[in-house]
Amino acid sequence: MTPPKDITIYDIAKVLNVSPATVSRGLKDHPAIRKDTKKRILDAARKMGYQQNTFASNLRSKRSNTIGVIIPRLNSYFMSTVIAGMEKVANQSGYNLIISQSQESFKKEIVSVNTMYDSRVDGLMVSLAYDTADTDHFEVLLKKNIPIIFFDRVIDHPGCTSIVIDNKQAGYDATVHLLKQGCKRIMQVAGNLSRNVYADRLEGYKMALAKFGIPFDSTLVISNSLLSEQGGVDAAQLILSMEHRPDGIFASNDTAAVACMRQLKLSGIHIPNEIAVVGFNNDPISKVIDPNLTTINYPGHEMGEVAAATLVNKLDQKNAPSLNTIVLRHELIVRESSNRN
């Protein structure tokens, strides 16, 4: 069976008895084309099944008008809010997003970077996988002057901008809050400590203990946790098996914190009187669990907007100076899971 012929602007021009140049301008919403003529052109194009050859147009302009985004996981409320912020700014600026997930794998991240390169993205925004140790795989884009923005989980690179919060201060704030509630033995449920976000939150935790004169105890740190629901359950089971249990928990995300709380409650532990709990991210789940979870508000939507705006600015103003790191504000939100007063 012969495939149907592609409709061109010349076919539309012939049907409407106008020039191909008029059709081209009408399809591009050119101000010189009258509204009634523009409507006739668009109606005819739709009826005839015309499809704009975006690929050819992109080759002429040397732009794809697409921006790549690589994230660790899509099943994250925080990441979904980041992407929403990115999409808002990118679309307003005439760009579309191509989204890929590394699934916490360095090898899959490399594949995603190569796919983005082959897709001719104009720029790339990346939150790194758990086990990413270097930036060598990004050099293929940087050598082509394709700008890269790192966000949330970042790595130092002189040619790239990073968008973060002050995770060290946030970890300090969360721990100080628990200490001020009378906690003396606080467990820290951390993620992979090779990533900046989790290493910095642990460092903030240590700073707070030192401020209150409490010695750091490595047995109270659960590191390299996936910070999943199962990770929270595992943390609770470890706590229940301890002879000298903690009286406070600072978990590096809300998913693990809520799962840990639930398991402790099922075992008869009173929250917050016996064990006070603080999470991180301000996910909707933090307001569903009883008692409501104290957490650090991580401005995901704002992070996405700032990352996309920074990238678009780099694309539109090639020689504009750029900051190496942009730090957004966080906020401690105190709720019943930690409030003993």
SS (H, E, C) 151-192: ECCCCCCCCCEEEEECHHHHHHHHHHHHHHCCCCCEEEECCC
Neighbour-count burial of 191, counting CB atoms closer than 10 A to its CB (0-12 exposed, 13-18 middle, 19+ buried): buried
Q: What is the CATH number of the domain that holds 36?
A: 1.10.260.40
The whole-number pLDDT of residue 59 equals 45
pTM (two decimals): 0.81
100 and 181 assigned to the same domain: no
94 and 240 assigned to the same domain: no
159 and 177 assigned to the same domain: no
95 and 127 assigned to the same domain: yes
With respect to residue 208, please indicate whether it lies within any of the assigned structural domains.
yes
90 and 78 assigned to the same domain: yes
With respect to residue 18, please indicate whether it lies within any of the assigned structural domains.
yes
Q: What is the CATH number of the domain that holds 253?
A: 3.40.50.2300
207: which 2 tokens? Answer: 């700073």
Query: Residue 20 belongs to what domain range?
Result: 9-52
Average pLDDT per block of 10 residues along the chain, 341 residues long: 71 88 82 86 85 54 80 92 96 93 94 92 95 90 93 91 97 98 97 92 98 96 86 95 96 96 97 97 95 97 97 84 87 96 76
With respect to residue 57, please indicate whether it lies within any of the assigned structural domains.
no
77 and 113 assigned to the same domain: yes
Specify the DSSP element, H or E, that contains 19: none
With respect to residue 335, please indicate whether it lies within any of the assigned structural domains.
no
157 and 304 assigned to the same domain: yes
CA atoms within 13 A on the CB side of 294: 27
76: which 2 tokens? Answer: 């994250």
With respect to residue 195, please indicate whether it lies within any of the assigned structural domains.
yes
155 and 256 assigned to the same domain: no
The whole-number pLDDT of residue 225 equals 66
202 and 291 assigned to the same domain: yes
| Structural domain count of the chain | 3
72 and 91 assigned to the same domain: yes
With respect to residue 291, please indicate whether it lies within any of the assigned structural domains.
yes
The whole-number pLDDT of residue 8 equals 84
With respect to residue 273, please indicate whether it lies within any of the assigned structural domains.
yes
